[in-house]
Amino acid sequence: MTESSTTLDVDRALKAKHRAMWALGDYPAVATEVIPSLGEKLVSACQVGAGDRVLDIAAGAGNAAIPAALAGADVVATDLTPELFDAGRRAADRAGAAVTWQEADAEALPFDDASVDVTLSCVGVMFAPHHRTAADELVRVTRAGGGIGLLSWTPGGFIGQMFAAMKPYAPAPPPGAQPPPLWGDEDHVRELLGSRVGDVHARTESLRVDRFATGEAFRDFFKANYGPTIAVYRAIADDPEKVAALDDDLADLARRYDLGGGAMDWEYLLLTARRAG
């Protein structure tokens, strides 16, 4: 077997693992019950309008794709995990939004160069393991002068710290895979996009989350519904002491961010840019 074919097999296995991870639990419940406003926030920042050709990368159940469609855009929602599309279709139907759903890998998008007016991703493309490849793809498909919009959890914010808390319990990442919260670091994203974009605007904001009354309530919800958390618990399922320790760590994390009454602020980076001509 050649080195290139071996690399391809490893990548396919990694992508299959990612697809299975995001199919665990109920990510659409996370999107609709915990972070429903983020997609609309991104669509507004990108000034999506009628007739725009919009590509939502790693769209999940359409948290950004649906408001983009409601703004009058022609929207294709893509994700590596098509198991999420049924919930997205139901949500789009309820909202009266026309969205095309297509399975696609963020690191190998099946679209022509410069074929999209606005390319966006709401806490989605950040989970592609190879950041440079994903960034190359989202730039490639965007036309000259077209918009790029990314909303990503920051490393120092709540979700970034949740991944840091889970890291000691998780299997080692494969070689070359980068931590998702790096997409929430402005310098990292600017370096990925480089001179291929201009008119870059980036700001750090916070989402107020008041879905969970206690740290334990947060932990149990994510333990049951959020694919990455479920995957980590499965990896340590045969070690009760580690399970108990992770239980404590996640509940403690939520308590540290508690502003009172269970409310938390979850920090994210919102970055928009224009594809250079």
Give the separation between CA 98 and CA 93, rounded to whole angstroms: 8
3-165+172-209+269-275: CATH, from 3.30.70.260, 3.40.30.10, 3.40.50.150, 3.90.1010.10:
3.40.50.150
φ, ψ at 139 (rounded to 5°): -70, -40
Give the separation between CA 142 and CA 57, rounded to whole angstroms: 12
H/E element holding 169?
none
pLDDT digits (tens, 9 = 90+) for 94-119: 999 999 999 999 999 999 999 999 99
Q: What is the pLDDT of residue 5?
A: 60
Average pLDDT, the chain: 96
pLDDT category of residue 11 using cuts at 50, 70 and 90? confident
The angle at the Cα of 171, spanning 170 to 174, to the nearest 5 degrees, equals: 130
Contact 270, 42 (CB under 8 A): yes
Q: What is the pLDDT of residue 4?
A: 62
Q: What is the pLDDT of residue 1?
A: 43
Q: Where are the beta strands (DSSP E) in the chain?
A: 53-56, 74-79, 99-103, 116-122, 142-153, 197-209, 264-275
Share of the chain above pLDDT 70, in %: 97
pLDDT digits (tens, 9 = 90+) for 23-60: 999 999 999 999 999 999 999 999 999 999 999 999 99
Residue 8 in this model has a pLDDT that exceeds 80: no
Q: Model pTM?
A: 0.96
